[in-house]
Chains A and B, each alone.
Chain A
């Protein structure tokens, strides 16, 4: 005969909370500091009894930001502590003995301890939230819907993270293993994808970042932090003072439904935790993995991670330096991965058996690990998905983020949506792939060839910037000889100097759709004063700034900007000016007018190619005999003169014309890609 069974034991519940009050109490106090600090600010600013301090929707937006960006990480960490508090007794054979000999069923312990842990999770949030509500109510900023959504979102996330911690608790019998397994559980999906894609980058030319986050939803902290957001809509009104003012109309928690999905997943994890507890053997306290069928998963999982990370590390230490290409050779990497995989296998076996004597009879597992590691390496190296040779079809690309760094450190970084420009980029990309053998050479493979390295980084977005994307990055060896014979490099140079791309590079962040932009001024920097021998800065009037902006636009349209990116040797010093221009703008984002106007700056490095701009500087009197714009070569010559050392350059630094001349360095040097440039422009 069995009598009644209770599923909740108040004594155990109270004991749990009493034992671990420093945890939830301390966290509550820390949490309470934030609304109290807010209150203090209100009191200091005498706003307590005045008009509402903040728009209720604004406060809601603040709540949602916390829900979206802080709660996932906070809950992840705090749930681990609460789980250790509620379930830590499982990891000590003595306490396991005491708990299980008490007159309470395992179901009773499970329910009571889970509720204890959840209480520890929620109490600090409740204290912090309660005080925040109180403060909001005092200043008249309480918004019930936002408050309810926030409470549900916090409760949902807390439940999910604590349920996940509870599930992991029963997988292991050791607190240190719990901490490790808990974070592995939460990041294994993203981590495994990263490891495999990292391996791909070892083999594939140009594939430096391949992580797509395809299975990131299995790493909830990362996924929630990325997906949750605050959506606001607002409208413009004329306030009592007659000023136009932006007023929030609605605030929503974007993708908030994900929290509900994760809460459901938490319920599943909780059921799994109960199933594990029912089958758990009390004697498993102290074991790294307490569930029998999970031991092989742990063993081979560790071996896999070791094979990838350790294999790549071993390869980089022992073999990478001997490679003649920038990408890895499959055989040495496969050997390194097999060796690292076997080491991982043994480490996992030692952890599982809590003994160093794990070698006898392990040859089958070791062999399987080594073969699987090598096979993984081989499978990735064969590139079955044609990742390396992939270029998107033009219609698949919504926008592109293009970064080109020339051989002398200057570059282009811009966002593009024009289909014609995107096609240009694709042409360059395909040309680079066509010359893979030559462009993929490492320093060792170049055999002492004197090259500088240019860099092409292109990210294709399916839609707007921020949508799903794929990136490729190429380090391209450049020399005068290479630039003359390489179609890929010539196309790259043409791309970098393309007026539309330069326009986007220079003015893209101030002049684009949905921006209201106004030029407000600027200054010319590092103008040399021969009398004082000092570099000076000169503020521009609005008229001067406007005239210079026009001149810059003319030079951009003429393809003059960007021509210095691939200048080699002393020609660069002859062409590039030490001084430049800074133009100030006032920019208002029409999508977020409530944010108001903000300042933006356009920084321009000038070169001898910028003929119209240089002419404008002279015409406006900004540059004259007492304020000279020097090239680096001229500056070096001046410094040599000042120090009494003859200038040793093999050219005349003063022979370079400032403006109005048809003679440029490019005429002395066959400008690479000139023909392609011309073809693209015309």
Chain B
């Protein structure tokens, strides 16, 4: 489990993290979402021991991350600007990582070679950005970490490779119980893989929910009232729109309760339709916040 408590990190007086608290359950895939400059990368750098927080606590499995060699050997990270030695090949970097990660698996490395199909003896600097990202996954997954921390991980990957990569990551989650913290500025990207989501903006966590919590707490209904009437004024809706005679209502309650409330007005049609993650976040946060707009656009 990753536990972040009231963490503050300042740069020249500017608080990139301003009292962040979040909790990543063990074995979960946690999506950390936020616009550019929200503090996602800073939080990840704190979690990987690159930065030391000014205030608050960061713990993985109850242990502080800072200068904790043993703990860090169970944590692997892919930064958005993944670094490799200028002249190095994937094979060279493999040898390097093997010297640091006791759990590094050559068997896994060989298996990944078939997935990624990149010449391991080619200098990394000669690979495309997408291929370098694949190499990063190849090496990081070969380290067999218990905790995988990914910062904008699929930027530069084509759709097929994205699916392959997520397949490998989710395989580790299901088979080895790997805990994954993944950051992105785009909610749609994480919709299919995350079971927990946190929104970070201006160094603060605006919202943190499990996917189940989110879906149980909001409903989207298509309703046709008798005689073409409008939405009753006493009905509490977060958002209402109308196309022809069909009203689309977003309500903060589960589908069963919503149907019960609407029954009073004897509607001609009531039909629940699935909410996308972006709709949930827009209406959960009021929809007006720049941060939310940015992550769903």
Contacts and interface: CB of A to CB of B under 8 A. Distances in A.
Interface of A: 1-6, 9-12, 14-15, 19, 92-98, 100-106, 108, 281-283
A14 B82 CA distance: 22
B87 interface: yes
B85 A15 contact: yes
The 7 closest A-B pairs by CB, nearest first: A11-B99, A3-B70, A103-B73, A103-B72, A98-B83, A94-B83, A101-B48
A100 B69 contact: no
Nearest to B101: A103
Interface of B: 11, 45, 48-52, 63, 67-73, 75, 77, 79, 81-83, 85, 87, 95-96, 98-101
Contacts of A102: 72, 100
A103 B98 contact: no
B69 A3 contact: yes
Contact of B85 (A5, A6, A19, A105): A19
A106 B50 contact: no
Contacts of B51: 281-283
Nearest to A100: B50
Contact of B67 (A12, A96, A106): A106
A255 to B, nearest CB: 43
A96 B99 CA distance: 18
Contacts of A100: 48-50
Contact of B50 (A2, A92, A101): A101
A9 B82 CA distance: 22
Nearest to A12: B99
A667 to B, nearest CB: 84
Nearest to B48: A101
A97 B50 contact: yes
A108 B73 CA distance: 14
A102 B79 CA distance: 12
Contacts of B87: 19
B148 to A, nearest CB: 12
Contacts of B71: 2, 103
User: Which of B63, B85, B101 has its CB near the most chain A CB atoms (within 10 A)?
Assistant: B85
A1 B63 CA distance: 7
15 contacts: A2-B70, A10-B99, A11-B95, A11-B96, A12-B99, A19-B87, A92-B83, A97-B50, A98-B79, A98-B82, A100-B49, A102-B72, A103-B101, A105-B67, A105-B69
A96 B50 contact: yes
Query: What DSSP secondary structure best describes chain A's contact surface?
Result: helix
A282 B96 contact: no
Nearest to B61: A1
B144 to A, nearest CB: 13
A275 to B, nearest CB: 15
A107 to B, nearest CB: 8
Given A2-B63, A102-B72, A15 B81 contact: no
A4 B69 CA distance: 8
Nearest to A13: B99
A548 to B, nearest CB: 74
A281 B87 CA distance: 27
User: Which of B73, B83, B98 has its CB near the most chain A CB atoms (within 10 A)?
Assistant: B83
A526 B132 CA distance: 82
Nearest to A18: B92
Given A11-B99, A101-B49, 12 more contacts: A2-B63, A15-B96, A15-B99, A97-B79, A100-B48, A101-B45, A101-B72, A102-B100, A105-B69, A108-B69, A281-B52, A282-B51
Contacts of A106: 67
B173 to A, nearest CB: 21
A281 B73 CA distance: 22
User: Which of B67, B69, B77 has its CB near the most chain A CB atoms (within 10 A)?
Assistant: B69
Contact of A282 (B50, B73, B77): B50
Given A96-B50, A104-B100, A6 B69 contact: yes
B175 to A, nearest CB: 23
A4 B52 CA distance: 21
A92 B79 CA distance: 14
A108 B48 CA distance: 17
Given A1-B63, A108-B69, A282-B45, A94 B81 contact: yes
Contacts of B85: 15, 19
A103 B69 contact: yes
Contacts of A1: 63
Contacts of A104: 69, 72, 100
Contacts of B49: 100-101
Nearest to A19: B85
B77 A101 contact: yes
Contacts of A92: 83
A282 B48 CA distance: 12
Contacts of A12: 99
Contacts of A94: 79, 81-83
A11 B11 CA distance: 33
Contacts of A15: 85, 96, 99
Contacts of B50: 96-97, 100-101, 282
A2 B81 CA distance: 29
Nearest to B88: A19
Contacts of B52: 281
B47 to A, nearest CB: 9
Nearest to B42: A283
Contacts of A103: 69-73, 75, 100-101
Contact of B83 (A6, A97, A281): A97
B77 to A, nearest CB: 5
A20 to B, nearest CB: 10
Contacts of B67: 105-106
Nearest to B68: A2
B99 to A, nearest CB: 2
A449 B96 CA distance: 80
Given A97-B81, A100-B49, A100-B50, A4 B70 contact: yes
A41 to B, nearest CB: 39
A97 B45 contact: yes
Contacts of B101: 103
Nearest to A5: B69
Contacts of A19: 85, 87
Contacts of B82: 94, 98
A109 B11 CA distance: 24
A487 B72 CA distance: 85
Contacts of B77: 101
A232 B68 CA distance: 57
A103 B52 CA distance: 15
Contacts of B83: 92, 94-95, 97-98
A75 B96 CA distance: 30
Nearest to B70: A3
Nearest to A278: B67
A100 B48 CA distance: 8
B82 to A, nearest CB: 8
A96 B51 CA distance: 10
User: Which of B67, B81, B95, B98 has its CB near the most chain A CB atoms (within 10 A)?
Assistant: B67
Nearest to A101: B48
A103 B87 CA distance: 22
A620 to B, nearest CB: 79
A240 to B, nearest CB: 61
Nearest to B79: A97
A98 B96 CA distance: 12
Contacts of B75: 103
Nearest to B85: A19
B236 to A, nearest CB: 47
Contacts of A3: 69-70
B98 A11 contact: yes
